[in-house]
Structure 1
Amino acid sequence: MISMTRRSFKKAALGSLAALVALSALTVPALAADKITVGALRFTSHAPSFVAFEKGYFTDEGLEVEFKFFQAAQPMAVAIASGDVDFGITAISGGLINLAEKGAIKVIGGALQEEPGIDGQIILVSKAAYDEGVTSPAKLKSRSFGITQAGSSFHYMASKIAEKEGFATADIKLVPLQKVGAIIGALKSGQVDSWSIVPHIAKALLKGGEIMQIGMVADYIPDYQVTTVFTSTEIAETKPDLVKRFLKAFSKGADDFNAALVDNTEGEAGAAAMVELIHKYVYADQPIEKAGPSIKNGAMRINKDAALNLTNVKDQLDWFKAEGLVSNDIAIETLVNTDYVEIF
């Protein structure tokens, strides 16, 4: 009888313990995800972030992501420095370098890069300029070239084109128009003669007959590290785990993007699914039947594991110095934190 009582007590105690454990599991909240804001442009080249978000790669890394969209690179750099944005993916600009000199920003990885055999950024001219004889980049001397701001990637590309063709940057009339959309409008109407831009935009413009192609940027800047991944110096130096988790999710998104639209290893169905995903963010105001071909045909390589072409980044920095757009005293270490990705 005593034995039965002990067994009953033990069984009751174990049952109570199990119930307590179950109740604890229900009442103890899971660890909250780290909330981050990611800066982006509505370009196909920014797709890895969109893919990582849509496929849950950021969530897998314990990150709750909100996007903030920009129309040019320099405002994004300012937003990183002010803390309004945590991570950004865009071109190196004079503004970004100047903020790095002030200790506000660090480049931590690479994204879009020109690669032989893959259509890259295209040099464009208005139909009016083409009819006047501007049929190659060599004819851009004394012609106008649209840029967002002085010290932008467009400024860098125009200068490199001029250098290779044997004339000075000052021989091109640079027209700062602040926004990509404004440059498109000015080029179509003939208010500016020329521009260079990523293929998903360029190829769509070429279909209208108002704009003509005269060259490829890759012929002037081989292996150009077009865009980079960057963050605030504070995050880069004090939150390495956060940076690693962001780069891991971003890199998974890049792998999926490259497989579907650059290497074409996912077949037509995989490519179509990727285009549909990206369309939520790029040309979202157009039907997918119209936007899809531009998104697909404009895909460029995103560096594996966010590896960074430091050789080209150094060239960009040297150009900014030579043009007097940044201080001559800025070292590459001031701009780039090499702790996180492969450097080449």
Structure 2
Amino acid sequence: MTKFNRRQTLGLIGAATAAGLSAPALASNRKIKVGALRFTSHSGSFIAFERGYFADAGLDVEFQFFQAAQPMAVAIASGDVDYAVTAISGGLISLADKGAIKVIGGALSEEKGIDGQKFLISDAAYQAGTKSLKDLDGKKYAVTQAGSSFHYMGAKMAEKEGISLSFTPLQKVGAIIGAMKSGQVDGWSIVPHIAKPLAKAGAWHIVGDVSDYLPDYQVTTVFTSADNAANEKALTKDFLSGFSRGVDDYAAAMIDGTASQDEMIDLIHKYVYTDRPREKAAPSIINGTMRLNKGAALNLASVQDQLSWFQSEGLVDKDITIDQLVDTSYVETIGG
């Protein structure tokens, strides 16, 4: 098994950008690090920790928080973090191609009937006559980087609309928000808790749902190092067991209405929008609610579509296979 230090892993990322759960091991008390972003969509891990589901699975969890997905992938590949959730990107696929990481389950998904990510048009473009996604033909569309999930979503929308977009990489979500507000870019897609408040304030206009163009899109995945996937099977199953119980509680409270939403908001607020008082954080937490896959089930057909698109764009090696990216032995898979 090839080992990667942090510098080597960062090199791989840069090159890519340029181009059934077991019963838990109750007494093991194994220390692991879990990577997370302070987003509602990472709540499965937060709930599993707060309600003792990781502890029940024999795990002593420490969170390591990140500002973006790419450094989290680096940390997994270099062994600094054990498990995490992130979107599929060109960088992530390259790390799998090099034998550094494996996708082992699914997390956030687009699902019809549940509020999801939005396509947006900047107010400046809208006032100038760009009223629909089709009107974005030839205009600037914001992405963090070439080979990001934003790039994939925009390209798939453009393909269905029969338009051409000028993809503009701005590196960070904050920079994209600023560019949308100032009219430097014309379109973008983002999660509802960011899209809806700023649309209400007039910063941009919501003109479509990502689910209309990418039904059942597997937005984020659970992943780990290839070494953990191959050689720490009991540990990996224990992590997925605890995580899945957290996801079940999240769905019951935030989607299905069979458990207390207020109690769940209190729990999530310990990790998300912590700089805001609870009454101001609650609407954004609610707006960020999307489907997290039960049992960490993985939509393999969606993952294959993403892999094929990255290959068609020359962003990853054309010879990498779905088996190099995904270990299907841990969870239920859909399609593929």
Does the TM-score normalized on the shorter chain lie above 0.5?
yes
Give the match for residue 310 of structure 2: 320
| Local SS of the residue matching 1:149 | coil
Find the partner of 1:297 among 284, 287, 294: 287
| Local SS of the residue matching 1:71 | coil
| Local SS of the residue matching 2:270 | coil
Is the counterpart of residue 227 in structure 1 residue 220 in structure 2?
yes
How far residue 32 of structure 1 moved from its aligned partner, in angstroms, is: 6.1
Give the match for residue 330 of structure 1: 320
Is the counterpart of residue 274 in structure 1 residue 270 in structure 2?
no
**CA distance in 1: counterparts of 2:96 and 2:309, whole angstroms:** 16
Give the match for residue 16 of structure 1: none
How far residue 288 of structure 1 moved from its aligned partner, in angstroms, is: 1.6
- The worse-fitting range, judged by mean Cα deviation, of 122-131 and 228-237 is 122-131
How far residue 31 of structure 1 moved from its aligned partner, in angstroms, is: 6.2
Find the partner of 1:196 among 189, 201, 208: 189
Instruction: Give the counterpart letter for 2:51 in structure 1.
Output: K
**CA distance in 2: counterparts of 1:179 and 1:71, whole angstroms:** 9
Cα RMSD between the aligned structures? 1.4
Is the counterpart of residue 66 in structure 1 residue 53 in structure 2?
no
Show CA shifts across 1:185-220 (max 9, x none).
222222222211111221222222112101110111
Give the match for residue 170 of structure 2: 177
Distance 1:69 1:173, change over 3 A: farther
Write 1 or 2 for the structure with the bigger share of helix.
1
**CA distance in 1: counterparts of 2:256 and 2:301, whole angstroms:** 25
**CA distance in 2: counterparts of 1:31 and 1:121, whole angstroms:** 41
With normalisation by structure 2, the TM-score equals: 0.89
Give the match for residue 141 of structure 1: 137
**CA distance in 2: counterparts of 1:290 and 1:198, whole angstroms:** 18
Give the match for residue 118 of structure 1: 114
User: Which stretches in structure 1 are left out of the alignment for 5+ residues?
Assistant: 1-29
Compare CA radii of gyration and give the structure with the larger one. 1
Distance 1:45 1:257, change over 3 A: same
Is the counterpart of residue 163 in structure 1 residue 153 in structure 2?
no
How far residue 149 of structure 1 moved from its aligned partner, in angstroms, is: 1.4
**CA distance in 2: counterparts of 1:189 and 1:281, whole angstroms:** 30
Find the partner of 1:79 among 75, 79, 87: 75
Is the counterpart of residue 250 in structure 1 residue 240 in structure 2?
no
Give the match for residue 308 of structure 1: 298
Instruction: Give the counterpart letter for 1:292 in structure 2.
Output: A
| Local SS of the residue matching 1:115 | coil
Find the partner of 1:154 among 150, 154, 159: 150
The answer to whether the 8 A contact 1:203-1:298 is kept is: no
With normalisation by structure 1, the TM-score equals: 0.87
How far residue 56 of structure 1 moved from its aligned partner, in angstroms, is: 1.2
Find the partner of 1:55 among 41, 51, 59: 51
The structure 1 segments of at least 4 consecutive aligned residues displaced by more than 3 Å after TM superposition are none
